[in-house]
Chain A
Amino acid sequence: EADIYQTPRYLVIGTGKKITLECSQTMGHDKMYWYQQDPGMELHLIHYSYGVNSTEKGDLSSESTVSRIRTEHFPLTLESARPSHTSQYLCASSDVLRDHETQYFGPGTRLLVL
């Protein structure tokens, strides 16, 4: 069973606010990912990390930023939230050497920006 956690699960916030979505995993996985997904639609990779102090932008341009100071923690920050940021954000992790590098996902954060 995957041990990857996301908080908050739901967030309603006003335009212009700064928000941080938390993601933590206890599996010691080196790779971590952030996806953005509108309801019932495909996943879009917005950020990923190969390990501590490594962060890369994904396929979908995003105004968010990420950091990877510790292996287990991969927070995503929006400096100024806008209604266009309304979506579900999924965090995932994988291990290069185990499980065929299967990605395991957290429960997601559903963000609504008013």
Chain B
Amino acid sequence: AQKITQTQPGMFVQEKEAVTLDCTYDTSDPSYGLFWYKQPSSGEMIFLIYQGSYDQQNATEGRYSLNFQKARKSANLVISASQLGDSAMYFCAMREGGTGGFKTIFGAGTRLFVKA
């Protein structure tokens, strides 16, 4: 069974608009961490934002926010005021277990296209 599911292979957004990238996860572990990464065409993976399973508030980092709905097991990434430089692949990831957990599992990714 897929542990991390990103159902949108590709998304388009108009420059300066907000966009939501979906991510659902599956775990029975009460302690886990959720991450989003950006991968531009140059290939490097850039860490964007982190949400812990016990965090009460949704994580925010600049224009990035994570819409964490624990009961639905979803951790959607919201990018506000999209910029052309946001065009990239975006990967959702989950680390099961507390700190020292076994490994991090990545989703298949969503490619975001920002239109001028």
Contact = CB atoms under 8 A, between A and B. Distances in A.
Given A2-B47, A58-B103, A94-B104, 8 more contacts: A40-B111, A41-B108, A42-B106, A43-B91, A101-B101, A101-B104, A107-B44, A108-B43
Q: Helix, strand, loop or mixed for chain B's interface?
A: strand
B108 A107 contact: no
Contacts of B44: 105-108
B22 to A, nearest CB: 16
A41 B108 CA distance: 6
Interface residues of B, number: 25
Interface in B98-116: 99-101, 103-104, 106-109, 111
A101 B45 contact: no
Interface residues of A, number: 26
A100 interface: yes
Contacts of B107: 42
Contacts of A2: 47
B45 A48 contact: no
Interface in B56-111: 89, 91, 93, 95, 99-101, 103-104, 106-109, 111
Interface of A: 2, 33, 40-43, 45, 48, 58, 88, 90, 92, 94, 96-97, 99-108, 110
A100 to B, nearest CB: 5
A19 to B, nearest CB: 18
B50 A88 contact: no
Interface of B: 33, 35, 37, 42-47, 50, 52, 89, 91, 93, 95, 99-101, 103-104, 106-109, 111
Contact of A92 (B33, B42, B45): B45
B103 A110 contact: no
A100 B104 contact: no
Contact of B108 (A42, A88, A92, A105): A42
